[in-house]
Amino acid sequence: MASEQSTGGRIENIRHSLAHLLAAAVLKKYPKAKLGIGPVIENGFYYDFDLPEPLTPEDLKDFEREMRKMIGAKLLFSGEEVTAAVATKRMKGQKYKLELIKDFSKEDQKLTIYKTGDVFEDLCRGGHVADTSEINAEGFKLDSIAGAYWKGSEKNPQLQRIYGLAFANKNELEAFLKMREEAQKRDHRKLGKELQLFELVDEVGPGLPLFYPKGAILRRIVENYITELQESRGYQPIWIPHITKGELYKISGHLDKYDAMYPPMKLKDEADYYIKPMNCPHFMMLYKAQQHSYKELPVRWTCTTTNYRHEKSGELSGLTRVRSLTQDDCHVFARPDQIEPEINVMLDMIEEVYKKFGFNNFWVRISTRDPKNKDKYIGDEKVWQESEEALTRLIQKRGWKHEIGVGEAAFYGPKLDFIFKDVIGRDWQLSTIQLDMNLPKRFDLEYTDTDGSKKAPVVIHRAILGSTERFLGILIEHYGGAFPAWLAPVQVKIIPISEKHMAYAEKIKKELVGCRVEIASENETLGKKIRSAEKEKVPFLAIVGDKEMESGEVSLREHGGKDHGSVSVEKLKSLIK
RNA sequence: GCCGAUGUAGCUCAGUGGUAGAGCACUCCCUUGGUAAGGGAAAGGUCGUCGGUCCAAUUCCGACCAUCGGCUCCA
């Protein structure tokens, strides 16, 4: 079958039909090709093939040419419902299609075969144009080749996937390509180097970024902001070490579950130690080491600390997927009746943070139990039910865009994930709030209730930034490297017009105490120095020459060219804050 | 980890079976300039690493490492 159902607008039909034309073109060149699936996706389509040799970009040109020929030939799309026996016969030799026929028959799904003129037929649910004259031959482009596992499973053979872009016409296609090109200019990996924020060095290791002063300042500003916000909401900092006995992870159950843990290291003759890949167990042990009364709950602890995970090499990318990740981790130990108010406080903080950074485009996934499969989950039935309702209610009350992920909860509790959509339309998971009814049990956590009995608290895990590294990556792309003044590693660049004005520049710098200021001291023309500072994306340029020395002010230029005229140092300070 | 592509100076990139080149940046000299590139000179590379073929390898072949586009995964 060549598709997910695509009954929607015309563009889906065009994209889906193009997928069929691509398959036809590939079959023409490789008659023995085995076809996988070819669905419509955002901005286009793809089709998976099992081929005798790797494809090259030149092949894509050939396929495009062939597809355009077919478009010009005004081929008709027609479908018919068939029995499994007929489908099996018609798809003879197509082993993946035959597998699908079996799968669908088991599920009692109807089978349909669609023909494209007389050049191609495919097991497919339909959703096509009537004939190829509806397709604009200049509105599509074969985009890239990639490997993809059959049915998305690592255990299955890997097929070659051809991605195509498709739009109603050439203008729309070009607009998309242009937008993508612009987005690539904002790539945090490129900007991270250009703006001297961070570096990935072979000798240090993949996924282990090093931060230059400017990047480190940016990190610190963001982390301090979160730390202060948390402490203003009653969270208390704790601190934990970076290596720990394996025993701790036996208690938590992580030891045999995660192969991304680095192998243990032997400290002399002592037990095996691990570099910590997560913080929860440490929080649990610290809680457990003291006794707790219902009166002191909720206990709200937080720690911004780095974890080390052996993420698979092919998954690493810039700052967004790393092996050293710093979490703004927080665990709240609460009574069941405190779950809702505690989560509400977390939502307040998330709202405040997103507003501060201008992240308007986000949505929330509320992951709940699979009601058909309740045995899968541990924890108190009543707590599950009430907290799932509370999560949904709280999100709805704020009017935030959300989806219920039925059956997507962890076995130990429901969760909220906050997903931010960036300028290129990619989704990034930022904040997460998870209820945990498992770890308190495994660690035998308790508090003394009003009646003197010992009860297990509920733990709420929470991170707002997610990881500092990934957050910075997203932040760099979000602002295209042109940070607002409160975040900018350098807030003001003072540009003396000539060497005569250096002393005055130094004087202004002193007056801007508390601000992050640099002086452009290089022996260059004014135009050159402005150009350099603009490329560094410094928010404010303070130009000083004879006129300014006389007035005691600076000529202020904002990043991008906006002219503020002559302003006093005090005025400049107020603009920075 | 898997499929594919890529790896030449700090950066962006040319180029070649006979041990390499541009622009920008860096250093020095001249210039002291009013809102996005003033002029000149010098310096800078084991052509990702290791092996193989060859009289000769940066170039051809292999392995490895890293990066990129995807897939898979993400406590």
Question: A316-353: per-residue pLDDT in tens?
Answer: 999 999 999 999 999 999 999 999 999 999 999 999 99
Examine the pLDDT at A176 and tell me if it is beyond 70. Answer: yes
Mean pLDDT of chain A: 93
In whole angstroms, what is the distance from residue A161 CA to residue A46 CA? Answer: 7
Q: What is the DSSP string of A476-529?
A: HHHHTT---TTT-SS-EEEEESSGGGHHHHHHHHHHTTTS-EEE--SS--HHHH
Kindly state the helix (H) or strand (E) to which residue A139 belongs, with its residue range: none
Confidence category of residue A423, pLDDT binned at 50, 70, 90? low
Phi, psi (deg, nearest 5) at residue A72 = -65, -25
In whole angstroms, what is the distance from residue A502 CA to residue A544 CA? Answer: 9
Confidence category of residue A422, pLDDT binned at 50, 70, 90? confident
pLDDT in tens, A480-496: 999 999 999 999 999 99
Q: What is the DSSP string of A29-46?
A: H-TTPEE----EETTEEE
Q: Do A194 and A489 meet the contact criterion of CB atoms below 8 Å apart?
A: no
Examine the pLDDT at A120 and tell me if it is beyond 60. Answer: yes
- Report, in angstroms and rounded to the nearest whole number, the Rg of chain A calculated over CA atoms: 29
Percent with pLDDT over 70 in chain A = 98
Question: If you average pLDDT over residues A521-537, what whole number do you get?
Answer: 95
Would the Cβ of A237 be found within 7 angstroms of any atom in strand B? no
pLDDT given for residue A56 in this prediction: 87
Examine the pLDDT at A361 and tell me if it is beyond 90. Answer: no
**Cβ-proximal residues to A547 (8 Å cutoff; 6+ apart), any chain:** A555, A566
Phi, psi (deg, nearest 5) at residue A73 = -85, 0
Residue A445, both tokens: 């956590």
Nucleotides of B strand lying within 7 Å of any protein CB atom: 1-5, 11-12, 25-27, 29-38, 65-75
Q: Please state, as a whole number, how many other Cβ atoms lie within 10 Å of the Cβ of residue A396.
A: 12
pLDDT given for residue A563 in this prediction: 96
Confidence category of residue A270, pLDDT binned at 50, 70, 90? confident
Q: Is A331 a catalytic residue?
A: yes
Cα A202 to the chain's mean position, in Å?
Answer: 24
Can you name the residues that pair with A332 across neighbouring β-strands?
Answer: A300, A460
Residue A44, both tokens: 């286009």
Confidence category of residue A1, pLDDT binned at 50, 70, 90? very low
Strand B-contacting residues in A 132-151, CB cut-off 7 angstroms: 144-149
Say which residue the tokens 């707790």 belong to: A292
Question: If you average pLDDT over residues A166-181, what whole number do you get?
Answer: 92
Phi, psi (deg, nearest 5) at residue A503 = -60, -40
Would the Cβ of A254 be found within 7 angstroms of any atom in strand B? yes
pLDDT given for residue A9 in this prediction: 53
Examine the pLDDT at A5 and tell me if it is beyond 50. Answer: no
Q: In terms of DSSP H, where are the helices of A73-131?
A: 84-90, 95-106
Would the Cβ of A555 be found within 7 angstroms of any atom in strand B? yes
Given the residues A16, A128, A300, A309, the one annotated as active site? A309
**Cβ-proximal residues to A176 (8 Å cutoff; 6+ apart), any chain:** A43, A165, A167
A280 CA from B3 C1′ (Å): 36
Say which residue the tokens 């985009």 belong to: A143
pLDDT given for residue A237 in this prediction: 97
Least confident of A6-15, A86-95, A185-194, A466-475: A6-15
Examine the pLDDT at A4 and tell me if it is beyond 80. Answer: no
pLDDT given for residue A517 in this prediction: 97
Residue A379, both tokens: 């924890």
Given the residues A16, A94, A280, A321, the one annotated as active site? A280
Confidence category of residue A90, pLDDT binned at 50, 70, 90? very high
Q: Is A309 a catalytic residue?
A: yes
Would the Cβ of A162 be found within 7 angstroms of any atom in strand B? no
In whole angstroms, what is the distance from residue A325 CA to residue A315 CA? Answer: 14
User: Is the preceding peptide bond at A298 cis, omega within 30 degrees of 0?
Assistant: yes
∠A163-A165-A171 over CA atoms, to 5°?
165
Closest nucleotide to A523's CA, by C1' atom? B32
Q: Are strands A265-266 and A454-455 parallel, antiparallel or unpaired?
A: unpaired
pLDDT given for residue A6 in this prediction: 39
pLDDT in tens, A367-419: 999 888 888 888 888 989 999 999 999 999 999 999 999 888 988 899 999 99
pLDDT given for residue A360 in this prediction: 87
Q: Is A131 a catalytic residue?
A: no
Say which residue the tokens 């959509």 belong to: A421
ipTM: 0.94
Question: If you average pLDDT over residues A256-263, what whole number do you get?
Answer: 88
Say which residue the tokens 């902001």 belong to: A225
Examine the pLDDT at A2 and tell me if it is beyond 70. Answer: no
Given the residues A34, A186, A331, A402, the one annotated as active site? A331
pLDDT given for residue A8 in this prediction: 43
Would the Cβ of A399 be found within 7 angstroms of any atom in strand B? no
CA–CA distance from A110 to each of A37, A87, A474, A479 (Å)? 17, 11, 44, 49
CA–CA distance from A551 to each of A444, A520, A563, A566, A574 (Å)? 70, 21, 17, 9, 19
Question: If you average pLDDT over residues A111-132, what whole number do you get?
Answer: 92
A526 CA from B33 C1′ (Å): 6
CA quadruple A177, A182, A185, A187: dihedral positive or negative?
A: negative
Confidence category of residue A278, pLDDT binned at 50, 70, 90? very high
Closest nucleotide to A321's CA, by C1' atom? B74
